[in-house]
Every structure is written in structure tokens, then in C-alpha cells.
Amino acid sequence: MNQHIAHLSDDPKRRILKDVFGFDDFRPGQAAAMESLLAGRHVLAVMPTGAGKSLCYQVPALVLGGLTVVVSPLVALMQDQVAALRLAGVAADTINSSIDRDESIAAWCRVQAGETRLLYLAPERLMTQRMLDALARLDIRLIAVDEAHCISQWGPAFRPEYEQLSRLQGLFPKAPIIALTATADEATRRDIAQRLFAGKVKTLVLGFDRPNIKLSVAARDDGPRQLLDFIKRHAGLSGIVYCLSRKKTEETAAALEKGGVKALAYHAGMTKEQRDANQNSFMTEAGVVMVATIAFGMGIDKPDVAYVFHTDLPGNLEAYYQEIGRAGRDGRAAEAHMLFGSGDIRMRRMFIDNEEASDEHKRRAHGRLGTLIGYCEAVQCRRQILLQYFGEAAEPCGNCDNCLDTAPLSDGTAQAELVLAAVLQSGERFGATHVIDILRGANTQKIKERGHDDLACFGSGAARKKEEWQSLIRQMAAADFLSSDEHGGLRITERGEDLRRGTGTFHFRPATPRAKVRAGTIAASEGGDPDLLAALKAVRLKLARERQVPAYVIFSDRTLIDMTALQPRNLDEFAQVNGVGAAKLKDFGKVFLAAIAAYAGG
């Protein structure tokens, strides 16, 4: 025991982790990131959602002293993190568009006086010349750039100031910089390293695999019915449903409520009060379904999300990975299910084409979208595809729909040869819709104008439905028999040429509704005594409302679950609960001990 205490006192970062944040040990990757920063080296940390990225800079900020500047893209996330730090006894501030002038002045006075340890700023606020000049006069010891993939992926049209962050290294040469993200493939990592650090950075990549999340994809047939059926199979569990638009978010939440599901909406068009109230309900009550746009999720620490359901195609595999990563953080069985259809693909391509970005950025975005479509149409293990995309080799997982579906594949070599003939004869310039029209002998204006009704392949696939050809072509693309240019025009790959010459075969999954694969039942219980846990959540919600912060900022679900297991009887025992630091022990210890004692006595 004495040896352990000596070990803590010898290591300032370990001491702060325990005393301030209430954790006994680091999670994988945290210590390595902190040690590099404390040695003055720049760090790019790619860590899965829920791996504790924030502590990678919050602990070094307190070890180093002086001021740490944190760049974050979302006002709500900044405010929540500042509130959480303050409750942990850390002097933190944010200056952003949602606070009034007097608050901003007061915050800046604290920063100038050297009272503030961490200052959270949006890139737009940080990269003004006035702010940069003011910060240059202060003792900046560390800079953290959160959601760093924005630098590379979203392009200058979305947040141009993210690109300007490349100036930080030159402006603050003595301060190490840490860039953090949950999602970056190898190309994105190279891009961030080059833009932000001129290539000189220690890159830490934690494993991307989340084996407890079952992966599944289905063609959209009747989306609202498919969603309701899925949620009813997970009755009583918390989940997140992602929709593409604000309008669809509200309509979907209303439809689920009508179907007997407790569902709430969350999107950027709602007032902050509405969003906070809905987020608190989701964090605190059992079995709530949050229907949201991608505005929801960053920084949310709810370990018992049992599923993530995408009603629409996400933007790319990185976005998909980040969004499904909000499920199953407690390590229990969870599910990620996605619906998609040809309309999604057209919409996503249109978004990319209408973006104010360079041709190179658009080409990369189209390429990323193509990879996601390939993932959707694949007949092999989905986890293998996902992990390979992030540079990890994997065996078939046995926990995705393709691994669990034992229906045999069909030999589609003859049909694939017809597709390749139509692509070749029409000049390898047209998208799937026009190629299918040629195969089915459609009498369209486009076909007549180009004389494609005279092609030898015209009408050769009339016996098959349009939907069958769509699925088959997408599976051919997923299996690398076809590729598409930035405009969606189909081209024959080297593997496709082999098939056309008669030296290859193609197997596919017919576009018929799959037999329902019964997943292992996801346990609804959260561990410990559910009645005590409910009582502690009620106490947490009351404290959160009094302080006007989200419930998870008081204590995470993980901490409450640990309380139910330990059932501490005094402050010394309460201090042993995971996630209870000195400030929270002082502020909240007695009220939670009273609730536990009342429950035990009742």
C-alpha cells in the first residue's frame, strides 16, 4: 500500500488523475500521449470514441501550469467540458458566441490574471488577429486541437479556420500541440500531420476494433416500419437514431412516440434549452431513444447505449465509425444497423458536388463515399472491411450480418458479364442508372439521343428488375469488378477485365429480404441494483438542474454504477468510487451517501 502511495506521489500526472479526476489508472494510450506532451513533443492521437481523449491534454495542462488553449468545433461541447472541469475543481473558461459580453470580459480577466488553466475557443475565435496577439502575451504551455479530422476531411468551405490552425506551430513555438480525433484513416492522418505539424509529430493510433458492436446493413424497403420493428426488438434499451435532416429527425421522433416508444429529437435548429432538456432525459432515464442529426453525440459519455440506427447513409466510413462508436461503451453487446438506398447515394453525391471546395477535395470525398457504398453492398465480413480501411488486419468477426447470414451466395458471373458489356459498349462514362436502362431496354430520351438502343447489349437484362440490377452493380463495385469516377461514371477494373475475358467468377447475394438473423439478446440490466441506480440518477438530475449543466457532467453512468456496486457508507469509501475526485467528493459526497443510506435503510 505504501509503495502504491509513493508511486502516486512520484508521478504528478498520476497524482492529478486520482486527486482531480478520481481515476486509479490510465486507459490505453493516455499515458503515452501525456508523456510525449510533457517532454515537449507534438502528438497526433487517434483514439476510439469513449477512450478518454480529453484527459490526454487536461492532465498535462494541470501538470505544466500556465495556460492551455483548447480548440473545439462545438459551442455545446465546450460549455459541457468547462462545466465538468469546474465541478472537478479545475479553473476552466470558454469565450464563445453563446455567452454575453460581460461574461466574456470576466473570463478574459481571469485568463489574463493567470487564474485560468484551460481556455476553450472555437477556431473562428482563436484565429482572429486580435485573439492571437492577446494570447502571444500570455504563458501558453500547451495547445489541444479537438476533432482534428476537420482539418482534412470537411474542407475549407465548412470551417476555413481549421485550415488556418497550421499557423499555430509558428505562432507558439514553445508550446507542444496535441491533435485528437476518433476517426482518421492513414491518408487523413498524413494530411493532419503535414498541415498542422509539417510532418514532425508523434502519432499514436489505438486499435479501432469494437467487437461487442454487431454490424448490419439493410436495403431501405419501408424505412419507418423497419426502424420501429428494430426498436421493438430492443424494447426498454437506450439507443440513438441518426437522420440526415432536421425535418426527418422531428418526423421520426413523432412517429416513434406514436408507436409507443419514448423518443426525443435533437438537432441544431432547436433552442439550447430544448436540446439540454432532451439530452438530460436521454442521459438519465432508462429506455429513451434519441433521434438526432450528427449535431448530437460529440463528448456524450453514456456507456449503456445499446444501439445506433442510421436511417440514412452517413457521409463516409469515418463518420459512420465515429457515430456507431457511441454504442456499447460499457463493453456489453450492442448493435449498429444502417438502412440505405439509391436515393441516399444521389443525395450524398449532390452534397459533395455543391460544396465550395477544391476539385481535389471533391475527388477525395467522392472516393470516400464510394468506399462506404462498397461497405454497404459487401458480401464478406463487414468488420474486416471497416478495420482494413483504418489499416488493421482482421479475421472474419462472426458478429456482423454477413458472417451470421449462412444463406449461400449465388453465381452471378453471367449477369456480371452483361453489366460489363453495357458499361464497355456505352463508353465507360455513364452511371448505374443509365447502364441499367440499357440492360432493361428502357425507352428514355438519353438512350435515344445517344443511340444506345442500337447497342448489342440493349435489352439483354430485361428479365430482371431495376432493384436487382442496382444491388448487383453495387456488389460488383464492392468486389472491385467496377469502379466509379468522381461523377459516378462506371469503369471496368483490372479484375473486371479478367471476368470479361472469361478468367474470373462473380458471386453475389440476391436482392431479396434476408432472413432475420437473431442477435444475442442484449441484456437490459445495467449492473448493480437497478432501483438504487434509478435513485442515484434522480439525485444526479436534481443536482444537474440546480447547476444548469447536463447530468453526465455531475457523474457519468459508469460512476453511478460503481456506486451501486460499492455502496459506500462514508466519505473515505466514497472516495474509492471510480470518477470521484477531491472536488466532487467535497461537493457531492454527502448527498449521494445520504441517498445510498436511505435506500439501504428502506
pLDDT in tens, 447-479: 999 999 999 999 999 999 988 898 888 888 877
Do residues 353 and 459 both lie within one domain? no
Tens-digit pLDDT profile for residues 120-147: 998 889 999 999 999 999 999 999 998 8
pLDDT for residue 188: 83
pLDDT for residue 522: 31
Structural domain of residue 415, as residue ranges? 410-508
Q: Is residue 361 one of the residues assigned to a domain?
A: yes
Do residues 420 and 379 both lie within one domain? no
- Other Cβ atoms less than 10 A from the Cβ of 228: the count is 18
Nearest to 368 by CA among 324, 321, 318, 325: 318
**In three state form, how does the secondary structure of 136-193 look?**
HCCCEEEEEECCHHHHCCCHHHHCHHHHHHHHHHHHCCCCCEEEEECCCCHHHHHHHH
In this predicted structure, which of 66-80, 335-349, 509-523 has the lowest mean pLDDT? 509-523
Nearest to 240 by CA among 331, 305, 183: 305
Radius of gyration of the chain (CA): 26
497 or 531: whose pLDDT is higher?
497
Do residues 254 and 106 both lie within one domain? no
Q: Is residue 281 one of the residues assigned to a domain?
A: yes
Question: Containing H/E element for 414?
Answer: helix 413-425
Tens-digit pLDDT profile for residues 234-247: 998 999 999 988 99
End of a domain among 474, 508, 542?
508
End of a domain among 508, 539, 569?
508
Nearest to 92 by CA among 542, 553, 537, 545: 553
Residue 537: give its domain's CATH number: 1.10.150.80
Q: Is residue 521 one of the residues assigned to a domain?
A: no
Burial of residue 274 (number of CB atoms within 10 Å: 0-12, 13-18, 19+): middle
Do residues 149 and 241 both lie within one domain? no
Burial of residue 133 (number of CB atoms within 10 Å: 0-12, 13-18, 19+): exposed
Question: Containing H/E element for 335?
Answer: strand 334-340
Do residues 57 and 185 both lie within one domain? yes
Q: How far apart are CA 290 and CA 267, in angstroms?
A: 10
Q: Is residue 5 one of the residues assigned to a domain?
A: no
Nearest to 193 by CA among 179, 206, 181: 179
Q: How far apart are CA 264 and CA 113, in angstroms?
A: 43
Do residues 398 and 430 both lie within one domain? no
Q: Is residue 4 one of the residues assigned to a domain?
A: no
End of a domain among 188, 205, 222?
205
Cell of residue 270, nine digits: 432547436
Do residues 393 and 484 both lie within one domain? no
What b-and-e string marks burial along 590-601, b requiring 16 or more CB atoms within 10 Å of the CB?
eebbebbeebee
Do residues 356 and 378 both lie within one domain? yes
Cell of residue 192, nine digits: 493532419
Residue 346: give its domain's CATH number: 3.40.50.300
Q: Is residue 488 one of the residues assigned to a domain?
A: yes
Q: Is residue 458 one of the residues assigned to a domain?
A: yes
Q: Is residue 139 one of the residues assigned to a domain?
A: yes
User: How many domains is the chain partitioned into structurally?
Assistant: 4
pLDDT for residue 49: 67
Do residues 120 and 19 both lie within one domain? yes
Do residues 111 and 186 both lie within one domain? yes
Do residues 51 and 161 both lie within one domain? yes
Phi-psi region of 359 (alpha: psi -120 to 50; beta: other; left: phi over 0): alpha
Do residues 447 and 332 both lie within one domain? no
